A = this chain, B = another copy of it.
């Protein structure tokens, strides 16, 4: 009888019922032995443990999720997964989430190519049955986008944020970052300090511009989009200005823009920091190894990811967490010096 049944299921994965049969207890007991060992007797606990080994049992995640009304996953929604900037942040998140028993799901808010894709991509994940929580890293999403789903899972913003929306944030104090940069350049003796911006509508751009204005009055800026390319274009603009009036120092609102600027200037035969000081933002790895290592403002990306994860877990746990504002740090390398 029993043999026949065992026979039948021999190839199928073991279920709780199989473990229960082998251990000589009920399924409820096995379940408890596994999820709350304290409530079963030591003898039973051992018997179950042996049976689990014997059967090679592994819990069926879908069944547990269904019963508990959770998914065991958290989704990180990034504006562009292909952007290497997010790698370290995701790594921090993944570590913290896995440690807490959650899986990390990633999603792109931008469907490849499609401009209206943001909304579509969002719908996929704003679904309480797909993830227990969302970490949103895209500040371009609007509050309206988020309103489409009534029962949407808990949400925290990381890195970027949405002005006016009442959503917990884990972000760098971006204004303090550029302020730090400006003060550094000022103290070196620079008086004409320019900047290379990001997209006008981007919250990071706005915060970083505000930081500069705390220290400088009406600093001249070059438009940009955080990319290497836009940094190089800013350099061409800068090169075309008369040396007596153009900025002697540049604050890039991203390391890429700063590096792009620096590279283009160097290709034109000028020197950094001899002819112009350059400072970046974010402290991504590779800019430390440029021919002229880039001075920059550090954003603790791994910590930010980790913190975003723990903040979301708090929120899932029912607390309303406070915003977390991380402090930027000046990393002084070779691309900044006193003006000649």
Residue A275 is within 8 A (CB to CB) of chain B in the complex = no
A299 at the B interface (CB under 8 A)? no
**Chain B: CB-nearest residue to A265:** B291
With a cutoff of 8 Å between Cβ atoms, the chain B residues found around residue A128 in the complex are 13, 58
Instruction: Enumerate the 8 nearest inter-chain pairs by beta-carbon distance, A residue then B residue, closest first.
Output: A84-B84, A82-B91, A81-B91, A62-B65, A266-B291, A228-B289, A62-B66, A84-B87
Question: Do B71 and A81 touch (CB < 8 A)?
Answer: no
What is the size, in residues, of chain A's interface with B at 8 Å between Cβ atoms?
Answer: 64
Which residues does chain B contribute within 8 Å of A83, judged by CB atoms? 87
Tell me the A residues contacting B by CB distance below 8 Å. 13, 56, 58-63, 65-66, 71, 73, 80-88, 90-92, 94-95, 98, 103-108, 111-112, 121, 124, 127-130, 149-151, 228-229, 231-232, 256, 259-260, 262-263, 266-267, 284-286, 288-292, 302
Contact B291 A73 (CB under 8 A): no
The answer to whether A91 and B103 touch across the interface, beta carbons within 8 angstroms, is no
Tell me whether A13 and B151 are in contact (CB under 8 A): yes
Q: List 28 A-B contacts (CB under 8 A).
A: A58-B128, A58-B129, A59-B129, A60-B66, A60-B129, A61-B130, A62-B71, A65-B65, A65-B66, A81-B87, A81-B94, A82-B88, A82-B90, A84-B84, A84-B85, A84-B285, A86-B87, A90-B106, A98-B107, A103-B105, A104-B105, A105-B105, A105-B106, A256-B286, A259-B286, A259-B289, A263-B289, A290-B291
